[in-house]
Amino acid sequence: MSDLQREVSELESKSATAARLFDIRRIIGGLFVVYGVIVTIAGISPSDADLKKAEGVHINLWTGLAMLALGLFFLVWLKLRPTAPPTPGDVQE
């Protein structure tokens, strides 16, 4: 084994990322649920000017609902397949 491999392996064994880093699915899910709700509400009764601008499409409503669905997808995924528990010996808080 070269010096480099020894050094990196040692650092890997001390690394805390695997044990302590939060799951990004929670953040994506949370942000998109919030965005989805905000944009959907903005799209529930669009002004005539907004509708005309968006070629008659209820674009806020559709985008909002799609973002809400994406957010919920991430939260459900997280619920169904939670992060694997850290292997014994890892730092736990």
Partner 1 sequence: MQYLAEGLRLPTNGLDYAILAIYFAVVLGIGFAARRSVKTSLDFFLSGRSLPAWVTGLAFVAANLGATEILGMAATGAQYGVAVVHWYWIGAIPAMVFLGLVMMPFYYGSKVRSVPEFLLQRFDKSAHLLSSILFAFASILIAGVNLYALSIVVEALLGWPQWVSIVVAGFFVLAYITIGGLSSAIYNEVLQFFVILAALIPLTLLGLKRVGGWDGLTDSLTKQYGDNFLSAWGGTGIGDANPLGANWLTIVLGLGFVLSFGYWTTNFAEVQRALSAKNLSAAKRTPLIAAFPKIFIVFIVMIPGLVAAVLVPKIGTAGSDLTYNDAIPLLMQELLPNGVLGIAVTGLLAAFMAGMAANVSSFNTVFTADIWAKYVVKDREDTYYLKFGRLITAIGVVASIGTAFLASSFSNIMGYLQTLFSFFNVPMFVVFIIGMFWKRASMKSGVWGLLAGTSAAMINYFVIYKQGIIDIPSDQGANFVSAIVGFVAGALVMVLVTLFTAPKPEAELAGLVYGTTSPGMQEAPEEGDSAWYRRPALLGWGAIVLAAACYIPYSF
Instruction: Give yes or no for residue 44 binding partner 1 (CB under 8 A).
Output: no
Instruction: Give yes or no for residue 21 binding partner 1 (CB under 8 A).
Output: yes
CB 40 within 8 A of CB 61: yes
Size of the site for partner 1 (CB under 8 A): 46
**Dihedral angle sign, alpha carbons of residues 31, 37, 38, 40:** positive
Which residue of 37, 45, 60, 69 would you call a contact of partner 1, by CB under 8 A?
A: 60
**Which residues in the chain belong to E strands, given as ranges?**
none
Amino acid at 49: A
CB 45 within 8 A of CB 24: no
List interacting residues with partner 1 (CB under 8 A).
1-2, 4-5, 8-9, 11-12, 14-22, 24, 27-28, 31-32, 34-35, 38-39, 42-43, 46, 49-51, 53-55, 57, 59-60, 62-64, 66-67, 70, 91, 93
